[in-house]
Amino acid sequence: MDEKWVSYELHPETPPSGMLLSERFKGYDLSSFYDQLRARGKEAGVVFGNHKLLSNSRLALMASEFARDQGRHDSFHENMFHTYFTEGLDIGNPDVISAVAGKSGLDGKETLRAANDGRYASRLDDAGREGQLIGLTGVPLFIIENKYQIVGAQPIDVFRDLFEKTK
């Protein structure tokens, strides 16, 4: 199976300090959203906590690209996911990013230096353009056979049904 992980900034308009999810998604029933998310997570063995902040993810995504270049992307990605979605921490905070880097086998200071010096900005910008071209509206996004898209945390049966259709 051909896999491609791309660092994609879903909400680049988020202020550097982040914003409350209740403010960003006014009028939406977030409790219902999280009930569904937790149900999908349970199917995959992932625990979703009570995070309330939409972080500005740009710095974390640049750090993720540094981790990719160091051969530590999978570990960094997994640890960052857990930090944000399970622990509910602000992944826009440099101290949080540095701690995740350390937990992932990277030097925290070196990771932040690389994330801040601009060397990964073009990768994020390219991913943003690619996302716009394919009509990306949510993450995760799974593209199967360059034809079918599954967006977001979907029940496992959605994947099974699509794979059955594409046999």
Residue-wise pLDDT for 120-150, tens only, equals 999 999 988 888 888 788 777 788 888 888 8
Record the tokens describing residue 31, joined without a space: 């409790």
Q: Per-residue confidence at 78, pLDDT binned at 50, 70, 90?
A: very high
* Phi (first) and psi of residue 162, to 5 degrees: -65, -40
Judge whether residue 13 has pLDDT over 60. Answer: yes
- Mean pLDDT, rounded, for 64-69: 96
Helix 94-103 and helix 73-81: axis angle, to 10°?
130
Task: Say what percent of the chain tops pLDDT 90.
Answer: 50
The residue with tokens 């390219």 is 126
Domains of the chain: 19-134 (3.40.30.10)
Q: What residues contact 129, with CB distance under 8 A and at least 6 apart?
A: none
* Angle, CA 95 vertex, CA 109 and CA 33 arms, to 5°: 130
At 150, phi and psi to the nearest 5?
Answer: -120, 120
What contacts 14, CB < 8 A, 6 or more positions away?
24, 54, 55, 56, 57, 92
Task: Judge whether 162 and 148 are in contact, CB under 8 Å.
Answer: yes
Region 80-99 average pLDDT: 95
Whether the pLDDT of residue 2 is over 50: the answer is: no
- The tens digit of pLDDT for each residue in 93-119 reads 999 999 999 999 999 999 999 999 999
- Mode of pairing for the β-strands spanning 19-20 and 53-54: antiparallel
Tell me the whole-structure pTM to 2 decimals.
Answer: 0.84
Tokens of 118: 């601009």
Model confidence at 44, pLDDT cuts 50, 70, 90, reads: confident
Which uninterrupted H or E stretch holds 148?
strand 148-151
Q: Of 167, 153, 164, give the one whose Cα is nearest residue 41.
A: 153
